[in-house]
Amino acid sequence: MMIPTKFTRSMAGNRSISGPRSSAPMMRGGWWLFTRWLADQYGDFIVRGLTQAPENGVDNIEARTGESFFRLFADFTVAIWADDMNIAGLAERYQVPKWQLRSIIRVQDGPGDPVYALQPLERTFAQMRGSSTISRFLAGSSAFYVELDAGGDQTDLQLQLASSTDAGLAILRFE
């Protein structure tokens, strides 16, 4: 699927979406995958709407979908992590149909077989209790993944997100 120039240029135009002006293959591929996911959610006609609309960037995406970009991007980041995990009852919103991302986006992470490129930081509830914090700098329009394992722990775990700019937390619970 080709993404016409007007859309890719306009993505960086409004409300802090960064990157598509970059010629790096990973950046272009990431925006293509987001656009493909939008088309899977709203139909292929959405791409025409995005490229022929008077709005640019986030305003364009929100006008075409009727949803906040923040919600869309959060759902997309869950989808690219959860895709192909065979999670029972996982809504289509949290999948990238037809692509099998875990088999095509692989990196060599030490000795052994390549692994899916999105590897979460793994923690248990016990490790996160008390004063345990995870501190990371995230560039605009990026995600950080943490996999928390209750390990039989029945006590509630409270999470707090602190940020100097707009940030959000998306949680996917599965067994």
* pLDDT for the residue numbered 131: 65
pLDDT at 35 over 80: yes
Would residue 131 count as lying in a domain?
yes
* pLDDT for the residue numbered 76: 93
Would residue 155 count as lying in a domain?
no
State the chain's mean pLDDT as an integer: 78
Between 74 and 2, residue with greater pLDDT: 74
pLDDT digits (tens, 9 = 90+) for 75-130: 999 999 888 888 888 898 998 888 888 888 888 877 888 888 888 888 888 888 76
pLDDT at 14 over 60: no
* Six-digit token string for 85: 């995990």
Looking at the 3D structure of the chain, how many domains does it have?
A: 1
- 156, 173 contact by CB (below 8 A): no
Give the residue numbers spanning the domain of 138: 5-149
Would residue 57 count as lying in a domain?
yes
Check the CA dihedral 41-42-43-47 and report its sign.
negative
* Contacts of 68 by beta carbon, 8 Å cutoff, 6+ apart: 62
The region, left, alpha or beta by phi > 0 then psi within -120 to 50, assigned to residue 141 is left
* pLDDT for the residue numbered 19: 43
Would residue 134 count as lying in a domain?
yes
Q: How confident is the model at residue 27 (pLDDT cuts 50, 70, 90)?
A: low
- 81, 38 contact by CB (below 8 A): no
Would residue 167 count as lying in a domain?
no
* pLDDT for the residue numbered 104: 85
Would residue 111 count as lying in a domain?
yes
pTM of the model: 0.74
Q: What is the mean pLDDT of residues 26-55?
A: 86
pLDDT at 26 over 60: no
